[in-house]
Structure 1
Amino acid sequence: MTPPDTGLVIVVLAPHDPMTRGQLRRMAELARDHGHRLRWEEARGGPGAPLRTVAGLAGPLRRARRIVIGDPFSRYVQLLLPLTRARELVVVDDGTATMEFVSQLARGERLVRWHRRGSRGARDLAFAPVSASTRRRLTPNARRSVTVFTAMPVEAPPGVDVVRNDFAWTRAAFGPPRLTRGTDLVGTSLVETGVVDPERYLAAVAGLARAYGATRYFAHRRESTEKLHRIASGLGLEVVRPELPLELIARRGPIGRTVLSFPSTVVHTLPLALAGTGVTVAVCDIDPVWLTERASPRAEGFLSEVTDTASDVRRLPAMPLSAPSAVNTGHTPQATHPCG
């Protein structure tokens, strides 16, 4: 049976990363199954792709009454936003970046991802007028409303409506999951973004797996193949690369009775998606000594904020940790306390 047309057109600006593309392909199938029309744009597919994408979307963007965007930090989104005359703008994002976006919007600052350092290169300077235009368009006025739909704990700037995502659709559409007797560990891309030292991260994963009996490691879509190989071969964890967002995977099951995570989106979203299932979500803080010299000065405070504002999670007690020989890193970081 063909689902009814909802009138919603979803535009995917396809990224280069293979894992992200794979997840988006599966989410596109779900969207079509629920009656939504979808346009898959290879917006990054070569020198002429950006112009073709902008030209192809200009008409629909001008005619739309409501525009929903998923990543206000995306430069592609910022390029497209000036084309719309929509009276309703909605930002839908359950990522930790939403917390920074709302704060920057309230302070009138330029939109910069929290893990980036403050220095501005030539590309940043050239793009500054576009970024400033985006910030103005995402500021509500008499002609335009702005809504943020998110599960993250944010305080609405003046005039912005915040609607909480309680994952009711996810709970209704999937599960309840079958629970295993084991513990699962959720990975993070903090190493790949240059925030956390890779050897200290591997040592932390090893320590958590040993202390809490974790057997599976759910990889973040941006984690490197090399790092995941070391986790699988050196630590003996089963590495799972989810084909859908983790909230849907966990809801479909099977999932461990305890899920361990570092500070990330999932410490806010998984308790909502798994409400009533008996699953415990636990969070391990990032010790400041894990941070690299390249980490943004904002990193330590932001990661602490992600943990401190999470509800319905268990804070793991501090424990001494050193890199095990099984990781085979070539050098051993000094002992530290990863979970405080």
Structure 2
Amino acid sequence: MTSAPPATPSHLAFVESPVQLLNVLEWACHAGRPDLLVVVLSPTDPMSRGQLRRMARLARDEGYAVRWQEARGGRGALPRALRDLAPALLRAERVVVGDPFSRYVQLLLTLFGPRAVTVVDDGTATMEFAAQLTRGERLVRWHRRGRARDARELALAPVTALARRRLAPGRGRAVEIFTALPVEAPEGATVTANRFAWTRARFGPPRLTWGADLVGTSLVETGVVDPDRYTGAVAALAAAHGATRYFAHRRESVEKLHRIAVETGLEIVRPDLPLELIARRGPIGRTVLSFPSTVVHTLPAALAGTGVTITVCRIAPEWLRETASPRAQGFLAGVAESARSAHGLSLTAA
């Protein structure tokens, strides 16, 4: 029986996605921190909310305090959330964040300067965060197109600049990056490897099926990849590898998934938990195909010793849309190559 959390937790985590909450649990398990309050800054899309509620139940079952904050609940939600969260921020010894690029998290960090900060994975953005921190650049998501900043971004520039300073190592402030991704530690920061010990202890090992499973991505929804090229690539991969199921990303549109189902015959699976837990719980294919994304680094750790083979599917340059950032091709290629070098994964083309 897990002991109840303390009344005034000394460690505070802000999460906005199911994957962030999973990695906060992994960090708390690794660090041995029962004195943790998890604040869910609730998103608006139903898939993310549903997965987050299930992850919140898992966190409570582990004995952690969880607070659900309707941070985007219409007019007045933001100032109300800032007022409600200020006391916890002021007494926290360490703040754990899942998305350093989040405007919401950046705004919260302007309320005070935490003595210690831990950044956990929320996709491949961790790689870009570490690189930008090292180079002293402003925080910008890798898939944002390189253009002049709009009025809203200019208005928030002081907030972003202050948040960046408070996410960087400095006098009296320790910074840790807890990650399953291959990142170089910025000067003054530490990098701790996420081996998914909590996931492996709580779930599985999975039953393996003889077929292959394909992991979806939201690169179409973020304006990086052309939808026709993407659907064609999924069809080609399914035919070449005998894939039968398509595990959808929570941000993939219903229209796109319907098209994939009709044109490829794949069974569309919309997971109710992060894929690392779904795969570990099983059943899962003996071969898992994925486009360059976080899972090509997290699944090898979560599925270690199970016999599952993970293959990375390259993104061809001609798949990219005009709206894609000039950095997109190099970044995605780097994710694929780093997965091969770090985990020995094979690469394939559609």
TM-score scaled by length of structure 2 = 0.89
Superposed CA deviations along residues 133-191 of structure 1, whole A, max 9, x for unmatched, are: 01111111221111110101000110011101011111111100000011000000000
Amino acid at match of 1:145: A
Runs of 4+ aligned residues of structure 1 deviating over 6 Å after TM superposition are none
Secondary structure at the aligned position of 1:143 is classed as coil
- Structure 1 equivalent of residue 242 of structure 2: 213
- Structure 2 equivalent of residue 86 of structure 1: 114
Aligned pair in 2 of structure 1 residues 82, 199: CA closer, same or farther (>3 Å)? same
Superposed CA deviations along residues 52-100 of structure 1, whole A, max 9, x for unmatched, are: 0000001110111111111000000000012234311111115200000
Q: Which runs of 5+ in 2 are unaligned?
A: 6-33
- Structure 2 equivalent of residue 142 of structure 1: 171
- Structure 1 equivalent of residue 56 of structure 2: 28
Greater mean alpha carbon deviation, residues 100-109 or residues 304-313: 304-313
Shift of 1:313: 4.7
* 1:86/1:144 contact within 8 Å kept: yes
Amino acid at match of 1:210: A
Alignment of 1:62-77 (within 5 A): 62-77=90-105
- Structure 2 equivalent of residue 127 of structure 1: 156
Return the match for 1:201 from 205, 225, 230.
230
Determine the C-alpha separation between the residues in 2 that align with 1:90 and 1:96. 16
Determine the C-alpha separation between the residues in 1 that align with 2:184 and 2:101. 18
Secondary structure at the aligned position of 2:278 is classed as helix
Identity between Structure 1 and Structure 2 (%): 70
Secondary structure at the aligned position of 1:309 is classed as helix
TM-score scaled by length of structure 1 = 0.92
Secondary structure at the aligned position of 1:129 is classed as helix
Matched, 1:312 2:337: no
> For the pair shown, which has the larger CA radius of gyration, 1 or 2?
1
Secondary structure at the aligned position of 2:225 is classed as coil
Shift of 1:235: 1.4
- Structure 1 equivalent of residue 322 of structure 2: 293
Matched, 1:51 2:105: no
Determine the C-alpha separation between the residues in 2 that align with 1:244 and 1:96. 19
Greater mean alpha carbon deviation, residues 176-185 or residues 231-240: 231-240
Determine the C-alpha separation between the residues in 1 that align with 2:258 and 2:171. 54
Matched, 1:160 2:186: no
Secondary structure at the aligned position of 2:95 is classed as strand
- Structure 2 equivalent of residue 334 of structure 1: none
Determine the C-alpha separation between the residues in 2 that align with 1:305 and 1:19. 29
Determine the C-alpha separation between the residues in 2 that align with 1:270 and 1:101. 21
Shift of 1:233: 2.2
Matched, 1:189 2:218: yes
- Structure 2 equivalent of residue 232 of structure 1: 261
Aligned pair in 2 of structure 1 residues 313, 210: CA closer, same or farther (>3 Å)? farther
